[in-house]
Amino acid sequence: MTNYTGRTTAVALATGLVLSLAAVPSIADENAELSIEGEKIVTKVAAPEGHPLDEILSGWRFRSDETQALQTDDFDNPAFTSVDYGAELWEEEAGTSGKSCASCHGDASESMKGLRASMPKWHDGEETLMTLEDHINWSRKEHQGADPWKWESAEMLAMTAFIGLQSRGMPVNVKVDGPAEEWFNKGKELYYTRVGQLDMSCSNCHEDNYGNMIRADHLSQGQINGFPTYRLKWQGLGSMHRRFKGCMKNIRATPFKPGGDEFTSLELYLAWRGSGLSVETPAVRQ
């Protein structure tokens, strides 16, 4: 373990290759600003007292100029084919009720505005913490009499992207007190717990080494304000739980189940870590 500029640089084995964290503590164009459709998207905010970081930075700031540019124009953003599909699903009748989402919620730009910014959150009726995906499937079951969508299905990704878009530009602001506090504490514990053959935690990369390079990847703070995100590596949209699962596989740990309590707790904690950043859904990453 070698220390550079106050940060720990780890050398680890992953997927059969040596991954080394190079001492390059830099941010891609620190003065860059994200504006979409003329609206400023906040990608950097001062961290509040008690936050583990000095400043909170969107993953957009760590991407290449070309990748950043893809997100600045909705016409070029490859995720918008899924957003358009989500808009169709919003109007589509489903289940035994013969109702669509629009039947109850009307115009999504009004009824869904702010929802993504507050997720995940406590659901009084179900007495549990629910992600946006959980809410969608709960509504399909309770209000439409329809079967749930699979977590990473084209339908679920399209709907979460469409609903998430309605909150774009709004600050992430999740509740972590009351009944959600237990989940928040569990998520925090998971974030700092070392797991897998490489004996690493989320914090080793995204807190101790953000701004450094892990081979060809510029490590970010791991903020989740842009999900579901179109990753060029995936050539499609993916949920944040898919990203969590991928990270665990990279350190040779057994991943938790997408939609399970562990990833839901981690999602809440990470959302809190990104408080104040604008919702960017659907973001574009490498």
The residue type found at 93 is: E
Query: Does 68 share its domain with 88?
Result: no
Quote the pLDDT of residue 55.
Answer: 97
pLDDT digits (tens), the chain, 286 positions: 233 333 444 444 343 333 444 444 455 566 778 999 888 999 999 999 999 999 999 999 999 999 999 999 999 999 999 999 999 999 999 999 999 999 999 999 999 999 999 999 999 999 999 999 999 999 999 999 999 999 999 999 999 999 999 999 999 999 999 999 999 999 999 999 999 999 999 999 999 999 998 877 899 999 999 999 999 999 999 999 999 999 999 999 999 999 999 999 999 999 999 999 999 999 999 9
Domain end call among 139, 165, 191: 165
The CATH number that applies at residue 243 is 1.10.760.10
Which tens digit of pLDDT belongs to each residue from 32-70? 789 998 889 999 999 999 999 999 999 999 999 999 999
Asked if residue 235 belongs to a domain, the reply is yes
175 and 275 together in one domain:
yes
Please tell me whether residues 174 and 271 are part of one structural domain: yes
CA 165 to CA 279: how far, in whole Å?
8
pLDDT, position 38 = 85
Same domain for 175 and 45? Answer: yes
Question: Considering the domain boundaries, does residue 203 fall inside one?
Answer: yes
210 lies in the same domain as 178: yes
188 is a domain residue: yes
> Cα–Cα distance between 175 and 178 in angstroms, integer?
8
For 176, the token pair is 């972590």
Q: What is the pLDDT of residue 9?
A: 41
Q: Of 130, 165, 200, which one is at a domain's C-terminal end?
A: 165
- Based on the fold, state whether residues 66 and 155 are members of the same structural domain: no
With b for 16 or more beta-carbon neighbours within 10 A and e for fewer, the 9-29 pattern comes to bbebebeeeebebeeeeebbe
Domain span holding position 240: 2-75+170-280
Same domain, 217 and 179: yes
Is 131 domain-assigned? yes
Any domain includes 285: no
Is the sign of the CA dihedral 207, 204, 178, 142 positive or negative?
Answer: positive
Number of domains in the chain: 2
14 in any annotated domain = yes
In a domain, 84, yes or no: yes
Active site amino acids: 247
Query: Which of 165, 183, 205 finishes a domain?
Result: 165
Co-location of 195 and 262 in the same domain: yes
Residues whose CB is less than 8 angstroms from the CB of residue 49 and which lie 6 or more positions away in sequence, other chains included: none
Residues 239 and 185 in one domain: yes
